[in-house]
A = this chain, B = another copy of it.
């Protein structure tokens, strides 16, 4: 191997992972069903009930999809019926037996995953590395969703966010001591809460909280360490500004801590202006505002 050549290192990675993925795929064959049918069963089990959707997700020709579907139907694993709203479409769901078969596949891939993870002396580091790779490879599938601040995605982000603040702030961080501990009113029309996800894994968040008729505060901007540099913070801020505008907000404010240097640099670069302290949060050192041009 040309030791310093990044392409060679990437190809080594691809080789290692290909053989692992190959083993995973061929382990599905133990259930006496070709891979295509197993993949379709899996996709249906994950809630894809629309055939056209299935087709495009699995990248199948309409004839092939139809045949695979009939195969599963013949085994009694799925049932289809015409869509009530559009008689041409067919709605697909797993039968009782289909659910059992789906669960069997789930257990298979989970156990394979666990075998691999068990091989690692340091599973958290391995998972972090896998996240970083997956985030980079799939960065074009980034999506920003509005969620309830009590949803599991939001709670996960906030937990990670607080843990990171606790690591980075000199004296640690406790939510209860911050000025504004609850995220309950970050719900439209009093605010919003956005989560950035790639392939269903939340990687960043931002909250918005109205403080007046045309004024709101941006809070809890966070991006996972495994997704830094992909422009997620930027996307979140653009989205939250759009949301604010849609509420009729014209002025945004925020506060932040001196330990969060990258954030400070970003705010300055993205048109935020430093202003005087406007609250007594013990963790806040810097204060910014931004006027929105509607």
Contact = CB atoms under 8 A, between A and B. Distances in A.
A28 interface: no
B230 A10 contact: no
Given A18-B21, A128-B129, 16 more contacts: A1-B199, A3-B152, A3-B202, A7-B117, A10-B116, A10-B130, A11-B109, A14-B113, A16-B133, A17-B17, A17-B134, A19-B137, A20-B137, A119-B137, A122-B228, A126-B133
Interface string A1-14: 10110110111111
A125 B132 CA distance: 9
Nearest to A129: B129
Contact of A13 (B10, B130, B202): B130
18 contacts: A1-B199, A3-B201, A3-B202, A6-B114, A7-B110, A9-B127, A15-B134, A15-B199, A16-B134, A16-B199, A17-B133, A17-B137, A18-B21, A119-B136, A119-B137, A119-B139, A122-B228, A125-B132
Given A12-B201, A134-B13, A200-B1, A121 B230 contact: yes
B24 A113 contact: no
A229 B113 contact: no
A129 B133 contact: yes
Contacts of A6: 113-114, 117, 123, 127
Contact of A16 (B117, B125, B138): B138
A281 to B, nearest CB: 28
Contact of A3 (B109, B121, B133, B156): B156
Contacts of A9: 127, 130-131, 201
Interface string A131-175: 111101111000000000000110010000000000000000000
A117 B21 contact: no
A273 to B, nearest CB: 27
| Shortest 9 CB-CB contacts between residues of A and residues of B | A121-B229, A129-B129, A13-B130, A10-B113, A7-B113, A16-B134, A1-B200, A7-B110, A129-B132
A199 B16 CA distance: 8
B153 A3 contact: yes
